[in-house]
Chain A
Amino acid sequence: MSPLLEVKNLTTRFHTREGVVHAVNGISYELEEGETLGIVGESGSGKSVSVLSLMRLIPEPPGRIEEGQVIFEGRDLLQASKEEIRHIRGNNIAMVFQDPMTSLNPVLTIGRHLREPLQLHLGMSETEARARSVELLELVGIPGAEERLDDFPHQFSGGMRQRVMIAMGLACNPQILIADEPTTGLDVTIEAQITELVERLQEELGMAVIWITHDLAVVARLADRVAVMYAGHIMEKAEVEQLYEDPRHPYTLGLLGSIPRLDEARKEWLTPIAGLPPDLTDIPPGCPFRPRCPYAIQKCDEERPPLIETHTLDHQSACWRWEEVQRDLKEAGEVAEASSDAYRE
């Protein structure tokens, strides 16, 4: 069976006055029906741009999708007409954005926000759309849904607004929900409410989810598979338990080792990844992580490692020395230990 969504060699650049920003550099992944794919990365890793590209939401200019294919139901979304892509957005693939404070229009009621996609995409009448809006708000757990339709966004709290955003995303029963840092900026107790909501909805409605985040801990719970991005490349991609227990890329290892963890004994010192992410207007040839990598060798300077299969099925790493990473991890016994051995100054 072919996957629900297939991203192939997606490349997006921004042509700015300061130079060409290489935001996404040939990434490929698949999304199966009903699964949750986590995309993890730090700021500037290209995680948001990659999904905005497949939804064709990149402002052009300065942005340009230079290469690649995004296959959904046998069609390439990157070649689809504006009409077609508008129909797919919201109808088949919906997106929930990071900042619920700014992505709702302050002068429109919550009801109006919810009715719009229903009337536009599904051709419902105003009354039908209103009834469905109430259902949607109830689905995402907003009490007193009927009365709250006439409220404005400022009358909702941050967590409630994010629920409204999710309700809007769900309006047309999409097959894919893309959530771009939907809980960033929310408090932990509210974050727990939102992740629980998405888990429940996914079970009830059977949609596939792409969850984008910088927080390794959030995707540990939600995702079936995880892709780790750095400087516009996918560095590692694996089934979730594999990735956390048996990382095969120095960057993933470093990330897992640099965060303070509640589930482990307190360490006196954290082991940070030294240095800074590269300037995306001037990515050196070779591996983009090379200047910060304790495993780097000559070859990493010269040739960029492709994302290749490792010994475990469906576990891919873009590192020439993934076998050494794996060997060291086996010797150290656990991720935190291996990470601090590798990254110790």
Chain B
Amino acid sequence: MHTNTDGEKPKPEQQERTTMDVLVEVRDLKKYFAITEGIIFERRIGYIKAVDGLSFQIKQGETLGLVGESGCGKTTAGHTILQLYRPTEGQVLFEGQDLSAMDGEELRRMRRRMMIIFQDPYASLDPRMKVEDLIGEPLEIHGVMHGKEKRERVKELLDIVGLNPYFIKRYAHELSGGQRQRIGVARALALNPDFIVCDEPVSALDVSIQAQILNLLERLQDEFNLTYLFIAHDLSVVRHISDRVAVMYLGKIMELAGWKEIYENPLHPYTKALVSAIPLPDPKMEKRRERIILSGSVPTPSNPPSGCVFHTRCPNKLGPQCTRHVPSLSDAGESHFVACHRLSRQ
């Protein structure tokens, strides 16, 4: 068992190689939201620890899947990485430059290279804006293109995402969910970014439409050498699209490994339960399959359990070790990282 704790620095020659192709690196990222009481004399009575110490790297051209149940902090993590929320602690390195230390114009320039696709295409597009303005807005804001040139670029983008250029005069409310999400994708592509956070991009769509958007995202990744952080709660979708997968629970990463490893050889009890709970579209297999049913629900992030945050629901709890000490995300071999005392003990 190799124990590579978070603080340990990689060896120099290793560092040389990894910084070459790592696009985004997150180091001990934390985002706490203050809970306040009182109106005039507002005082803090606690924190919601939405993201509580994430560390991972995303390589150039890779898709990292980030999965977890509602309230685990996966969306907050995505927003904090893009500096839409400023982190409470920790760093986000983009090509080695620390975004969390940037401000103003410097950060604005970096923003062109990192985009986001939102979950709900009904809520994220202004129904009173025309498609031309929706897609063209980032070009305007960053002062890249105007007028006719911009219109041509919007038409080109519509074509890229598989919509007819004559949609340019339509309003968002005239479009179906799948078409709207294509607009969301086109908008994210407008400035030729390197990195896109896809925040549940298909969960509001119907099954037959989901596949269209997933294929589109994959095609664009190949075409424009994009790097994705793909946030979703649907584990089947994440398995389809990801190179590596990180499993989050209550603001922390429980397990991080290659997509095949996560699904075929999950090590963390939470990942095991999660994978076993996914229903399969196969009646014969479903009726035979043993599921691990977790009791209870996710505790509140304002008062997370001590020690391992999963211990209150864990079917393999060891005892005081789990209730008192926070397990670190350690290497279980073959780039498979897991935060569980049971595994680091062996």
Within 8 A of A (CB), among B276-319: 276-287, 291, 293-295, 297-298
Contact A220 B281 (CB under 8 A): yes
Bound: A39/B33 CA distance, A: 42
Give min CB distance, B121 to chain A, whole Å: 13
- On chain B, the number of residues with a Cβ less than 8 Å from chain A's Cβ atoms is 44
Asked if B192 CB lies within 8 Å of chain A CBs, one says no
Give min CB distance, A225 to chain B, whole Å: 11
Bound: A221/B278 CA distance, A: 11
- On chain A, the number of residues with a Cβ less than 8 Å from chain B's Cβ atoms is 47
Interface centre among A159, A263, A268 (most CB of B within 10 A): A263
Bound: A188/B69 CA distance, A: 8
Given the contacts A189-B69, A192-B291, A263-B285, A272 and B215 also touching, CB distance less than 8 Å? yes
Within 8 A of A (CB), among B189-223: 206-212, 214-215, 218
Contact B286 A221 (CB under 8 A): yes
Interface centre among A192, A196, A214, A267 (most CB of B within 10 A): A192
Given the contacts A187-B69, A214-B207, A254-B208, A220 and B280 also touching, CB distance less than 8 Å? yes
Asked if A256 CB lies within 8 Å of chain B CBs, one says yes
Contact A217 B280 (CB under 8 A): yes
* Chain B contacts for A159, CB-based, 8 A: 297
Give min CB distance, A77 to chain B, whole Å: 30
Contact A189 B207 (CB under 8 A): no
* Chain A contacts for B280, CB-based, 8 A: 217, 220, 261-263
* Chain B contacts for A216, CB-based, 8 A: 207, 281
Contact B240 A260 (CB under 8 A): yes
Chain A, residue nearest B176 (CB): A276
* Chain B contacts for A272, CB-based, 8 A: 208-212, 215
Chain B, residue nearest A185 (CB): B70
Asked if B239 CB lies within 8 Å of chain A CBs, one says yes
Give the interface segment out of B22-30, B110-118, B229-237. B229-237
Given the contacts A255-B207, A272-B212, A262 and B278 also touching, CB distance less than 8 Å? yes
* Chain A contacts for B274, CB-based, 8 A: 188-189
| A contacts, CB < 8 Å to B | 42-43, 157-160, 187-193, 195-196, 214-218, 220-221, 223, 240-241, 244-245, 254-256, 258-263, 266-274, 276-277
- A-B residue pairs, 7 tightest by C-beta: A272-B211, A260-B240, A217-B279, A187-B69, A270-B211, A221-B286, A192-B277
